[in-house]
Amino acid sequence: MSYDSYPAPADVEAVGCVGIGTIGGGWAAYFLSRGYRVEAWDPSPDAEPKLRRLIEAAWPALTELGLADGASPDNVRVHAELPGAVRNVQFVQESAPEVLDLKRSLLADIDAAADPTIVVGSSTSGYSMTEMSGDAASPGRLVVGHPFNPPYLIPLVEVVGGDRTDPEAVRWAADWYDHIGKSVIAMDREVPGFIANRLQEALWREALHMIDSGEATVDQIDRAITDGPGLRWPVQGPMLTFHLAGGEGGMAHMLDHFGPSLKSPWTRLDAPELTSELRDAVVAGCDDEAGDRSVADLIAERDAAIIAIQRVISGIREAA
């Protein structure tokens, strides 16, 4: 389909939420805070009271972040049957449990009941849309829109289509999530675990190995992150962090001088060969990201953030 045959993101008024547990309910709270009407469905018998409690618990935070005009926590209806949640909406977010057969049949059901011109996003954290869309009659509008917990606070959404997804639907989903204030990463190919979960999973698996072999305790793993590199990561990701580790020479200096450490047994994961192509791609990417910020600017930004973050967290702990 052409991009324009989907409703314009700015014209969306209602969103369907299929599956309203922790993730789907978090999405519902977020959509409500952005001023949308939410039509929801979940087969669980206590889904509605749970959803109301989740929205109530999230609302003070969402209010603090700033509500859209007309936003109301009451602007949600929980339907007895699936079709009620996917008709008369301009987008559907599916957040069912991570069970492939369930996702396949549910996406086929959503596809069968929803207006054919709207895009359907799946919150899956692990399956590819190629795997999940196999039973759907019109898989072209089925897209992964992978959030992070809690979806009403963490900005990141990873967007990627499957083999049969319409590239315009992927583009539409990226625009839509961006329109509602999310930080969108649109991937041009399916990679198991997408991007953030691959990175997170590498760290998690190394941590499990260390605990398994008695090299570290649970508490040491967590403190190694919260009191160490974790303090830098909300402000500068792993690449820009190492750009600064290179001093004035930035990532180029870092890779040229510390590249051999990639052969060190510092983790169970072997590194790729540091070819000149890889080296140049990493350096160029960091230079692009730094933009017109000098190394001194980046250091000032990092230091101010580290101080403020520590202060924020100790304030929250003292208040508790």
List binders of a second copy among 259-278 (CB under 8 A). Answer: 261-262, 264-272, 274-275, 278
Applying CB under 8 A, the span of 71-79, 101-109, 133-141, 199-207 interacting with a second copy comes to 199-207
Q: Which of 13, 56, 61, 249 binds a second copy (CB under 8 A)?
A: 61
The runs of H, that is alpha helices, within 78-141 are: 82-86, 100-113, 129-132
Nearer to a second copy, 2 or 45 (CB): 45
Residue closest to 181 by CA, chosen among 202, 162, 200, 154:
154
Q: Which of 206, 253, 256, 295 binds a second copy (CB under 8 A)?
A: 206
Residue closest to 42 by CA, chosen among 84, 99, 104:
84
Q: What's the closest the beta carbon of residue 183 comes to a second copy, in angstroms?
A: 4
DSSP class of 150: S
**Which pair of tokens denotes residue 60?**
């003070």
Nearer to a second copy, 164 or 279 (CB): 279
Burial of 83 (0-12, 13-18, 19+ CB in 10 A): middle
Nearer to a second copy, 45 or 214 (CB): 214
Applying CB under 8 A, the span of 60-68, 82-90, 112-120, 171-179 interacting with a second copy comes to 60-68
Q: What's the closest the beta carbon of residue 162 comes to a second copy, in angstroms?
A: 16
* Range 133-192, binding a second copy (CB under 8 A): 148-150, 153-156, 158, 183, 185, 187, 189, 191-192
Q: How many angstroms separate the CA atoms of 237 and 231, rounded?
A: 10
**Which pair of tokens denotes residue 242?**
């190492």
DSSP class of 122: E
Q: What's the closest the beta carbon of residue 166 comes to a second copy, in angstroms?
A: 22
**Which pair of tokens denotes residue 188?**
């041009």
